[in-house]
Amino acid sequence: MDFLTRPEGPVTLVDEASGRSLQLQHENPMDLTVVWTDPPRQMLCLEPWTGPREALISGDRKLEIEAGGNQRLRCSFSINPEKTVREVSC
């Protein structure tokens, strides 16, 4: 099961049982968010995406970088928002 969204700002998942939260902060062009799970596994995944499913086929939001060019992709994940657990830059 998955859900794709284009949020206006950070996306936060809250675990009410533990009181913890996970926040994804992203920047354009990595500004789509997918939340998915794979039952019966007890997990939930929060991923930043640059384009919707099948973007390589449809061309919708497809990133193309010319030889020698570059593209900056950046996002960060925070737990209980003071602690950054991972920052990804390309």
pLDDT averaged over the chain? Answer: 84
Are 60 and 52 spatial neighbours (Cβ–Cβ below 8 Å)? yes
Q: Count other Cβ atoms within 10 Å, centred on residue 51.
A: 17
67/3: higher pLDDT: 67
Total number of domains in the chain: 1
| Residue in this structure with the two tokens 């700002």, named with its chain if needed | 9
Domain interval for residue 49:
1-13+31-53+72-90
pLDDT of residue 89: 52
* Cα–Cα distance measured from residue 1 to residue 38, given in angstroms and rounded to the nearest whole number: 6
**What ranges make up the beta strands (E) of 6-90?**
11-15, 20-26, 32-36, 45-49, 74-79, 83-89
Position 79 pLDDT exceeds 60:
yes
Asked whether residue 62 is assigned to any structural domain, the reply reads no
Mean pLDDT computed over 80-88: 57
Asked whether residue 43 is assigned to any structural domain, the reply reads yes
